[in-house]
Amino acid sequence: MLDSPIEYLKGVGPLKADLLKKELSIFTFSDLLEHFPNRHVDKTSISAITDIHAGTDFIQTAGIIDNIVILGEKRSKRLVAQLRDRTGTIELCWFQGIHWIEKNIHAGKLYLVFGKVAFFNGKAQITHPEIEPWVAETAEGKNFLEPVYPTTEKLKAKGLNGKQIGKLTMALIEMISPKDIPENLPNHILENLILLSRWEAYCFIHFPKNQLEYDKALYRLKFEEFFVAQVKLGLTRLRRHKHSKGAIFEKVGEYFNTFYTKYLPFELTGAQKRVLKEIRTDTGRGIQMNRLLQGDVGSGKTIVALLTMLLAADNGYQSCLMAPTEILATQHFLGLSELLKDMPVNIRLLTGNTKTAARREILSQLAEGSLHMVTGTHALIEDPVVFKNLGLSIIDEQHRFGVAQRAKLWAKAAIHPHVLVMTATPIPRTLAMTAYGDLDYSVMDELPPGRKPITTVHRNEMYRVKVMDFIRSEIDHGRQAYIIFPLIEESEKLDYENLMDGYEHVKAFFPEPKYWISMVHGRQPADIKETNMKRFVKGDTQIMVSTTVIEVGVNVPNASIMVIENAEKFGLSQLHQLRGRVGRGSDKSYCILLTGTKLNNDARERIKTMCSTNDGFKIAEKDLELRGPGDIEGTRQSGALNFKLANIISDKEILEKAKKEAEMLLSKDEELSSAENLILKNYLLHKKGKTVWSKIS
Ligand code: ADP
Ligand code: MG
């Protein structure tokens, strides 16, 4: 029934059907049913004119029309009429369709009128009211709130405005019965959460008797959207757990223990310990780990990665650590080599720049198994790289690393290696639960002890000299500073010039030979970039002028100042990432956001947020709020966010509840085979398109 083409509905001819398809993608009855109203108007009662007061918004009233006159000339030409009931009068006014009104509205007759009240010189008036002749049945008003639907100009022109669509929906609902919209949620959930039935929800979302009924219908349908999505994600996860094999890291051996007891340079934080435990559980049970590890900048993800790699080595497996840039891969390599220098662990670096001879050696060591660990860039997933027995792949700072790319890593081993994706990009819980819901998820929400919070301030250009003076005094105390320029223009050339201008400017403040400046940008050849970066890391230069290429991962503990030029041009998460480059040592650190003098509201919000908190999660939430989930990169196409009614930001609580219920349900009955859960199973099986279920059984 609901699959019927929309032209079969009474009142929809071929012309309207065509437009509904083109303009609103309404092809079938069920599409119309899921075209939800964006508001309702209340015509359930008829007010007396005397009840109209300054606070009145929309009103429905009735009375006799008289004094129809046409006033004004040209653009102020209008038709004005009085509507009078026993209690008073109100003015009705039309600027358009005057001719039609003149012909069809007659003085001395009774009319029902609805519209928005405005006041002119203290007198109440309704402009362009809806008006219809009074008939006895309307005396009580409508017995439901009247829906208003999203529509388009083209549809309006053909007699389908926001309210007229409601007539079609009404006709449809009158045609169908509860069996056309069968329940899909198990009974105990309906009962526990006191939800409306699916049929009721669809009726009331369109035609509720009152606000409460509408709210209940909306809640039920939002819950259903989240719940169904969570069940699907849960099934995907379960399926992977069931059908994937993983290397078993059963023992904690020499490598791990020796490192842990002798060379670990600090006590692990509680969060690091917890995450390690989660990883141990994941890697010990014979199924492939797919875990997303989110930890704010500086929370210490690298050491977790290393310990996991040692665990792999203890069990006879090789591991790789992949980073998005040459700089970061190199830094990882140097850092890990230093930590492992007294251990019999073989670790190498493989990037696009690795020289042929070294590359040949690394590749052969990987193939024969004498190399325990390799860090590198994307070069690692290139074809000639063959591992003897890769058991673990760690991907750093790249939560967007796609499924396809991950699969490439898997293809390198008979048994798929465990995958740990690490990111400092804070992902709001709600997004993690939806867009990344098929991954297991760990959070490190604790920074190592002794970190001093970074002081963040906002300064406009007028203070540039003062800012430079401040940097100078910090540098004279032995610290280092970053000065970041944004990529703002469409053109790379302009960005480059912008950076060069900035560089000259900085140089004027900090002349050689007292001060030395490193500059890094995307146009430089990799080796120049590398050299400049290294000089800064070693402390040979005090200032790093750069574009956002240093955004991720880079660790220079002595750098205590981060200046961000044109900070208003950056997104929140990027600002937070950049700020995370400082505050890594024992010195008090500062982040200075330089902006123009005029800021739009969004930019002001972003800057304010940055100045008020260091908490990556709060920033992520704000970011999501300001940009909306559709704009968060990489999630747009995921489909996990395509909810019709529900919104992962404003309906967070419903999402949490749906997730909990879905998890409970699957933990008790992962085949959805109990009598009560069959309706859900059938729903998933029959839902439009292929569902995960079809892949499962
Ligand atoms: P991120 O999570 O941003 O990748 P890193 O792993 O680079 O962070 O760690 C940042 C710094 O914190 C490093 O210098 C690291 O040695 C240090 N660190 C990590 N864990 C601890 C800890 N438990 N106690 C003290 N310092 C730590
Ligand atoms: Mg890192």
pLDDT tens, residue by residue, 662-671: 999 999 999 9
- Six-digit token pair at 350? 């493989």
Q: Of all protein residues, whose CA lies closest to atom 17 belonging to ligand 1?
A: 300
Task: Band the pLDDT of 237: cuts 50, 70, 90.
Answer: confident
Task: Band the pLDDT of 696: cuts 50, 70, 90.
Answer: very low
Pairing mode, strands 480-484 and 543-546: parallel
pLDDT (mean) for 324-332: 83
Checking if the pLDDT of 561 tops 50, the result is: yes
Burial of 60 (0-12, 13-18, 19+ CB in 10 A): buried
Query: What is the pLDDT at residue 357?
Result: 95
Query: Strand 559-564's sheet: what is its strand order?
Result: 455-460, 590-595, 559-564, 480-484, 543-546, 517-520
Task: Band the pLDDT of 528: cuts 50, 70, 90.
Answer: confident
- Distance set, CA 60 to CA 66, 87, 141, 573, 692 (Å): 18, 15, 8, 49, 50
Query: What is the pLDDT at residue 409?
Result: 64
Residue 376: how many CB atoms within 10 A of its CB? 25
* Residue 352 or 364, more confident: 364
Which region among 211-215, 276-280, 525-529 has the lowest average model confidence (pLDDT)?
525-529
Amino acid at 583: G
Checking if the pLDDT of 415 tops 80, the result is: no
**Tens digits of per-residue pLDDT, 118-138?**
988 888 999 999 898 887 766
- CA gap 466, 509 in Å, rounded: 11
- CA gap 535, 633 in Å, rounded: 33
Strand partners, 396: 422
Checking if the pLDDT of 403 tops 50, the result is: yes
Task: Band the pLDDT of 416: cuts 50, 70, 90.
Answer: confident
Task: Band the pLDDT of 442: cuts 50, 70, 90.
Answer: confident
C-beta of residue 487 within 8 angstroms of C-beta of residue 548: yes
Cβ of 297 below 6 Å from ligand 1: yes
b/e 327-340 (16+ beta carbons within 10 angstroms → b)? bbbbbbbeebeebb
Checking if the pLDDT of 379 tops 90, the result is: no
Cβ of 335 below 6 Å from ligand 1: no
Cβ of 269 below 6 Å from ligand 1: yes
- CA gap 473, 311 in Å, rounded: 46
pLDDT (mean) for 357-378: 94
| Cα–ligand 2 centroid distance for 396 (angstroms) | 7
| Cα–ligand 2 centroid distance for 160 (angstroms) | 56
pLDDT (mean) for 76-82: 92
End-to-end CA distance of the chain: 28
| Cα–ligand 2 centroid distance for 301 (angstroms) | 6
Cβ of 266 below 6 Å from ligand 1: yes
Percentage of the chain modeled with pLDDT above 90: 54
- Distance set, CA 626 to CA 12, 353, 606 (Å): 40, 40, 9
Give the contacts of 167 (CB within 8 A, at least 6 positions apart). Answer: 11
* Residue 293 or 642, more confident: 293
Amino acid at 382: E
Task: Band the pLDDT of 553: cuts 50, 70, 90.
Answer: low
Task: Band the pLDDT of 97: cuts 50, 70, 90.
Answer: confident
| Cα–ligand 1 centroid distance for 299 (angstroms) | 6
pLDDT (mean) for 65-74: 90
Amino acid at 354: T
Query: What is the pLDDT at residue 694?
Result: 41
Query: What is the pLDDT at residue 555?
Result: 76
Most confident listed range (229-238, 366-375, 397-406, 555-564)? 366-375
Place of tokens 């358009």: 96
- CA gap 94, 113 in Å, rounded: 13
**Tens digits of per-residue pLDDT, 246-283?**
889 999 999 999 999 999 999 999 999 999 999 999 99
Best probe residue, ligand 1, of 294, 296, 303, 444 (max atoms within 8 Å of C-beta): 303
Query: What is the pLDDT at residue 457?
Result: 96
Query: What is the pLDDT at residue 551?
Result: 53
- Six-digit token pair at 595? 């902006």
- CA gap 105, 168 in Å, rounded: 27
- CA gap 564, 208 in Å, rounded: 52
Percentage of the chain modeled with pLDDT above 70: 92
**Tens digits of per-residue pLDDT, 307-319?**
999 999 999 999 9
Checking if the pLDDT of 635 tops 50, the result is: no
pLDDT (mean) for 643-652: 84
Q: Dihedral sign, CA of 482, 483, 486, 492? A: negative
Query: What is the pLDDT at residue 1?
Result: 84
Checking if the pLDDT of 7 tops 80, the result is: yes
Query: What is the pLDDT at residue 633?
Result: 43
Q: Of all protein residues, whose CA lies closest to atom 16 belonging to ligand 1?
A: 300
Quick one: angle between helices 211-243 and 198-206, nearest 10? Answer: 130
Angle at 552 between CA 547 and CA 553, to 5 degrees: 130
Task: Band the pLDDT of 692: cuts 50, 70, 90.
Answer: very low
| Cα–ligand 1 centroid distance for 307 (angstroms) | 13
C-beta of residue 530 within 8 angstroms of C-beta of residue 351: no
Query: What is the pLDDT at residue 207?
Result: 96
Query: What is the pLDDT at residue 697?
Result: 35
Query: What is the pLDDT at residue 693?
Result: 44
Amino acid at 447: L
DSSP, collapsed to helix, strand or coil, labels residue 607 as helix
Average confidence score pLDDT of the chain: 87
- CA gap 477, 377 in Å, rounded: 36
- Six-digit token pair at 434? 């939806």
Place of tokens 């750069």: 546
* Residue 203 or 689, more confident: 203
Taking alpha carbons only, the member of 171, 146, 159, 141 closest to residue 44 is 141
